[in-house]
Amino acid sequence: MITHHEVLETNEMIQHENLDVRTITMGISLMDCMDSDTEKLKTKIYDKITKSAKDLVKTGDEIGNEFGVPIVNKRISVTPISLVTSGHGQNACVQVAQTLDRAAKEVGVNFIGGYSALVQKGSTKGDIDLVRSIPEALSSTERVCSSVNVGSSRNGINMNAVRKMGEIIKEMAYLTKDNNAMACAKFVVFCNAVEDNPFMAGAFHGVGERDRVINVGVSGPGVVKAALENVRGADFETLCETVKKTAFKITRVGQLVALEASKRLGVPFGIIDLSLAPTPAIGDSIAEIFHEMGLEHAGAPGTTAALAILNDNVKKGGVMASSYVGGLSGAFIPVSEDHGMIDAVNAGALSLEKLEAMTCVCSVGLDMIAIPGDTPASTISGIIADEMAIGMVNNKTTAVRIIPVLGANVGDTVEFGGLLGYAPIMPVNKFGCEAFIKRGGRIPAPIHSFKN
């Protein structure tokens, strides 16, 4: 029987250490909504989403209430829209984005992901239409999130797409210049994108998935930090064991919530994504874990090693706790969503280059980084190319969510609000890479992709 001590420990995690289920994300396939008539296509999409997810928010809240654990977000991911709107043209893509936004508002989810294209090897006409429509789509909607996969370990990197990404990020920054380039915060560029990620802005419902699925993302950097406080000064074996045990406990909560949500909604359970995702709240920070491990600030020498330990042991603890682990799983290192990271940037401890090094061992990539608005598109593409190369060569998912804020310079701070937080503008290397990006074409797949 459960002991008093165990009950106290769990409730301490929830009440004081910010343990939560970060998101229940319902993946919905839109493949059966295709239609040659754009109006019919939009109606089918709206109807399928609103019918499938009508009880998602209510069910999530009920489960959170019964277990006493907050379920922060309820979200939806859909089939990459470039596949669904193929042949309809750029304007229809924007209309579909607006349909997604309406559907999201109708069912009460705060984000809907999947306004996406997978162009790692090349683009179809439908992909090109969608990519070109992204700036208008994201600046004319509130809850739609978009991603483009431009590279993979299997296929190499589509450098034409990388060049285009720099341009559309600048365009989005311009279109939402009065709102701190908010559209850029809803857009991610991926290498090795995963098809079952429940976290935004990069969630989409992969084509290899079933019709509908429930994926759950759990989080709890504060719980890990609190556990590490009890082993201050202990050796690395103890440190790793502590992270592992804590990750196990956190993931078990996610597994329980996922199975319950799946049962109540009548939608099959997909995966648990056991990511440590920070929020701007004090005590919910990855940088605080680094500090607890013994680093003065995130970004200090030793940070990459500390992150590698954290990422690896979160996975080791988590895989035993759930029957299906997937998504991105690991530690996220967004800057604007983590007050410790922001402090590190302001203290001069954390640079873009150090963050890039950290992305070699974290679960995703350069995330929620604000840069000066006058950064050239080619430089943004260069940053993306570097990050994609790390993903391609290391067989891992990498991503870039970068926000050039027009009129802002190093020393300024921009406010995104809510879970997206606020960010100091970070300096970018001033040396150009325009001729490199202009080459165009495709970087061939790396030698270790030939595994057959």
Q: Within 10 A of 294 (CB to CB), how many other CB atoms are there? A: 13
> Least CB distance from residue 64 to another protein, whole Å?
11
> Least CB distance from residue 313 to another protein, whole Å?
18
> Least CB distance from residue 172 to another protein, whole Å?
41
By CB under 8 A, tell whether 8 contacts another protein.
Answer: yes
- Using alpha carbons, select from 363, 391, 381 the residue that is nearest to residue 153: 391
By CB under 8 A, tell whether 6 contacts another protein.
Answer: yes
* 64 sits in which H/E element: helix 56-67
By CB under 8 A, tell whether 256 contacts another protein.
Answer: yes
Q: Which stretch binds another protein (CB under 8 A): 9-17, 129-137, 205-213, 275-283?
A: 9-17
Measured from the CB atom, the residue of 58 and 132 that comes closer to another protein is 58
Task: Print the binding letters for residues 65-104 with another protein: x by CB under 8 A, - otherwise.
Answer: xxxxx-----------------------------------
Give residue for tokens 């406010």. 415
Handedness of CA 451, 305, 325, 287 (dihedral sign): negative
Measured from the CB atom, the residue of 216 and 369 that comes closer to another protein is 216
Task: Print the binding letters for residues 25-44 with another protein: x by CB under 8 A, - otherwise.
Answer: --------------------
Q: Which stretch binds another protein (CB under 8 A): 184-192, 253-261, 271-279, 386-394?
A: 253-261
- Contact at 8 Å (CB) between 363 and 315? no
- Contact at 8 Å (CB) between 204 and 195? yes
**DSSP letters spanning 172-231:** HHHHTGGGTTHHHHTEEEEES--TT--SSSS----TTS-SEEEEEEEE-HHHHHHHHHTT
Measured from the CB atom, the residue of 10 and 50 that comes closer to another protein is 10
- Using alpha carbons, select from 69, 81, 73 the residue that is nearest to residue 45: 81
By CB under 8 A, tell whether 230 contacts another protein.
Answer: no
Task: Print the binding letters for residues 53-72 with another protein: x by CB under 8 A, - otherwise.
Answer: ---------x--xxxxx---
- Contact at 8 Å (CB) between 79 and 204? yes
Q: Within 10 A of 86 (CB to CB), how many other CB atoms are there? A: 17
By CB under 8 A, tell whether 10 contacts another protein.
Answer: yes
> Least CB distance from residue 7 to another protein, whole Å?
5
By CB under 8 A, tell whether 253 contacts another protein.
Answer: yes
Q: How far is 306 from 310, CA to CA, in rounded Å?
A: 6
Measured from the CB atom, the residue of 22 and 249 that comes closer to another protein is 249
Q: How far is 70 from 60, CA to CA, in rounded Å?
A: 9
| Binding stretches for another protein (CB under 8 A) | 1-2, 4, 6-11, 62, 65-69, 249, 252-253, 255-256
